[in-house]
Chain A
Amino acid sequence: MEHIVIIGNGIAGITAARHIRKFSNKKITIISAEADYFFSRTALMYVYMGHMRWRDIEPYEPWFWEKNRLELKKAYVEKIDTDSQTLYFKEDGSLKYDKLIIASGSTTSYYGWEGQDLKGVLGLVSKKDLEDLEKYAPNNKKCPRAVIIGGGLIGVEMAEMLRSRKIEVTMLVREAAFWAGVLPKPEAQMISRHVISHGVDLRHNAQLDKILGDDNGNVRAVITKDGEEIPCCVVGITTGVKPQISFLEYSKIEIDKGILVNKKLETNIANIYAIGDCAQQRKPIGNRPVVEAVWYTGRMMGEAVAQTICGKPFEYKPGNWFNSAKFFDIEYQTYGWVFSESRKKEYETQFHWKCNSDLRCATISYHKNSGEFLGINTFGIRMKQEVFDNWLNEKRSVDYVIENLKQANFDPEFFKSFEKEIQSKFFNQTANV
């Protein structure tokens, strides 16, 4: 029986395992050094906030693995010998594979700041990070203030976590508004205001210079590039993640930022595949970056590689881009491409709408000549993925999309609808041009 070994029990690895099991009887082993069972990484924050227990963020009950004959091994892979198809573990022992899927995920990227190895400097990616945060920021007496470096999706999660325990939070954000490298400016500014409304000391155009420690090697303060010293006990590093591939350095597997793969997710070595956050496409697919560290893309790669492994070679061809997140109380969804000011394409025109409550807004992006609908961001309004997926495939015009916006609404029943407001703003605006 063919032995499939998967390194990593995150969403990519587990999806691959589940689908391989669905289509075949192969022997499957999943290796992880991080946790006994698959958990939802995106839900780490809720454990610290007391919304859920650890076991609640595990999507499958423990019997699931045995029932589906998915063998779990808790070990750290130190070395891969691709010639003899063998993995060597840090804890001693080895394992032979017929096919190997590497789904080792991401790790926090540090940018060589002075003091980044001090105790209390942490990211929010792994189970260990959560345990560290619990250790260094258990309450606001032990940790009156924390500083978060970088304002992205992980940064805002960490701010929400710390605020739930009434810990003062200072956020140093390089841009002039929150996540402005990704979001169009009016949206980024609205999110900035919302973050501040939750008691976060949000500093725009601010960067970290170095981190200061005390005699015990704990964080004492940070110094910004402007020279200001901010005392704190915890420094959250949320400036981004990078593929976790250090264990491959001396193997024959070709790596760059991540593990280089072709469209079939094959590495340069036969029978070895890489999926999820750790994989890097040799050529970008559409507008997507070559390394995508997103829950959904990890899952989609897992689905695709399972087909290939089960004898139906498939290319990873993600459909229309989509993503979602939540900034404190404001939900965010995006379908298609809406670019920030710095990344905006020359053909892209954007229409913005914002609700008076300052809790909802939307940006619709379209081709300035043809009027083709390119994408939408919504904040505080839920939208149907299927509808936008169809509209994007059908290359609908922006007029059509705005006229039919109601069809795409996914807010709960009885919620106030904003389509009319959006429509009148859009059509007034275009009439005036």
Chain B
Amino acid sequence: MSSVQRNMSLTGEPPKAINTPQKLATLLGMSGMFILVLAAFNINFPNKTVWLLIALSSIFGGIVWFAIAAYSNKNEGIKNDGVWFKSISSRGFLAWLTGLALTGFYIVLYFFPQFLGLTNEGKNTGLISFFDPLSKLLNGGPASQWFVYGTLYTIAILAFGIKFLKKYRHNKYERLRTFSVMFFQLGFAFIIPELMARLNSDSFSLPYYDLKNIWPLNYYNFEQYRVDQFISGGNIGLALLIFGVVSILIITPILTYKYGKRWYCSWVCGCGGLAETAGDPFRHLSDKRLVAWKVERWVVHSVLVFVVLMTTAVVYSYLGDDSSKYWLTKDAFLISVASFLTLVFLGVWIFKRKELKKDARLGAIGYFIIIISLIGFHYFSGKTLFLFEAETLRKTYGFLIGSIFSGVIGTGFYPIFGSRVWCRFGCPMAAILGFQQRLFSKFRITTNGGQCISCGNCSTYCEMGIDVRAYAQKGENIVRSSCVGCGICSAVCPRGVLKLENGPLEKRIDSNEILLGNDVDLMNYVNK
């Protein structure tokens, strides 16, 4: 059945048509982008401050105006009309165009920053220097390519955040969550680190630190140059270093136990923040097939193992051998890593084995053996830790995972693969939180008795590709490692079947052979 009309025109017919104010808003936003492109091509603007202000406010204003024009004259409620008809949101021509532009931008940003105006000696030019006025205002120095990226990223989250707030103005959970990601992006990821940079002087320097960016998402947090800076940064530096360790080992497990991984993935995280705002129009593009879930489990956990190995090797490489100089020696570090991983493995194996499916058990044993034998191998053969140089591991990880996976594929392909490809298949932080969420958390999505009509809105609009309906129609609660708790399944459900909750651990995963509604004897009989 061809319900989808293959019409390439931008205007089209309702529900895919956009109204006149939306067209003007698009024009405004695009003209802002155009100024940036001109700057990238080294067009000299007479008054940089003014032109930068014009460019950025046109982009911001264009997006906000578009959102107001799109939603203001409509009743409060779900706004998915024509999602699968519009070229931009149904992998049409515009989607591919946008995808190519975004991936192109990431490739230039990561691998050819000279095209943005980065020069090795002397002052930057082009787009990067175009951002100097704002950079000087915030951190006192000239802009870098990362400052340009950070600014645009923040504008995207704020402007598309406002769009999302308009779209879901009837839903307080969605609104609070969006205010939260906007706040953390603007404050923690953008302004605070820039202001912190002002404190730096010749004698005192802290690394650029986005406090909410926790290892292993922030895979470089414990690299030598950073740790050196932390340690030389006096009490503040040391506090930051300790905070980095405490974040992943103590804060994260506690919050995830209480609220599920959503406290991070859809309320705080920057990657999640972009996915939930700018990426929202693409959430339905995620792959819902069972095979995608299988691939996801192997890939995301392999990335986690990779980052653990890489970080261990990097830290090991700069530690000393002499315990009289510093308590943490190479050996002490390696042994504590090995013991910690063994404890986690044994704990899960003893207490939670029943909850693991066959492939999860195989994976757990496999990964554990690999890590422990690599550590053991090092002791017995005296070869390089993990067979490769720490620097090689670090570079490979940075290139493959840090740049290609999270940036080029993860964000560049939003309009093709959906908004959470990185979070689902690649993010090691999501893997850790997901592991905690699946096995040690109060969070679940509760299913309301037998009210499900299998319509499929929940599954379709799940950005993580979870087949929510498969659980809901069986009356089962949804307890999945990958669920980021965005709450959209619950919002789009036409029958009020789903609710995100933190509840008691008993009956967290609850399945009835017979759904509620049928006669009581039959339910008791079958479910016995």
Contacts and interface: CB of A to CB of B under 8 A. Distances in A.
A333 B451 contact: yes
Contact of A164 (B15, B490, B520): B15
Contact of B78 (A134, A320, A329): A329
Given A317-B519, A319-B520, A386-B516, A57 B455 contact: yes
B326 to A, nearest CB: 47
Contacts of A415: 171-173
Contacts of B516: 319, 385-386, 389
Given A50-B85, A328-B77, A384 B173 contact: no
A110 interface: no
B456 interface: yes
A191 interface: no
Interface residues of A, number: 69
B504 interface: no
B173 A53 contact: no
A75 to B, nearest CB: 19
B1 A54 contact: yes
Chain B residues touching A, majority SS: loop
A385 B449 contact: yes
A11 B457 contact: no
A385 B448 contact: yes
Contacts of B456: 40, 43, 46, 52, 56-59
A22 B81 CA distance: 38
B518 A304 contact: yes
Interface residues of B, number: 61
Contact of B14 (A22, A164, A322): A164
Contacts of B78: 329
B80 A416 contact: no
Given A197-B75, A385-B449, A410-B499, A46 B518 contact: no
Given A384-B449, A412-B173, A415-B172, A52 B16 contact: no
B469 interface: yes
Interface stretch (A171-179, A295-303, A366-374): A295-303
A166 B12 CA distance: 13
Contacts of B427: none
Contacts of A166: 14-15
Nearest to B82: A50
A322 B517 contact: yes
Interface in B422-477: 446, 448-451, 453-457, 459-460, 469-470, 473
B453 A51 contact: no
A50 B15 contact: yes
A56 B15 contact: no
A317 B521 contact: yes
Interface in A7-22: 11, 22
A295 B452 CA distance: 9
Contact of B495 (A11, A130, A326): A326
B259 to A, nearest CB: 10
A127 B520 contact: no
B364 interface: no
A382 interface: yes
A386 B451 CA distance: 10
B289 interface: yes
A413 B430 CA distance: 23
B223 interface: no
A303 B515 contact: yes
B391 interface: no
B448 A382 contact: yes
A322 B451 contact: yes
A139 interface: yes
Contacts of A303: 514-515, 518, 522
6 contacts: A50-B3, A50-B80, A165-B15, A303-B514, A382-B499, A412-B171
The 4 closest A-B pairs by CB, nearest first: A385-B449, A329-B77, A317-B519, A382-B496
Given A412-B172, A413-B500, 20 more contacts: A43-B455, A46-B456, A48-B3, A49-B82, A50-B82, A54-B3, A59-B469, A61-B290, A165-B15, A304-B519, A315-B519, A322-B450, A322-B451, A322-B517, A324-B451, A329-B75, A333-B496, A386-B449, A389-B449, A415-B171
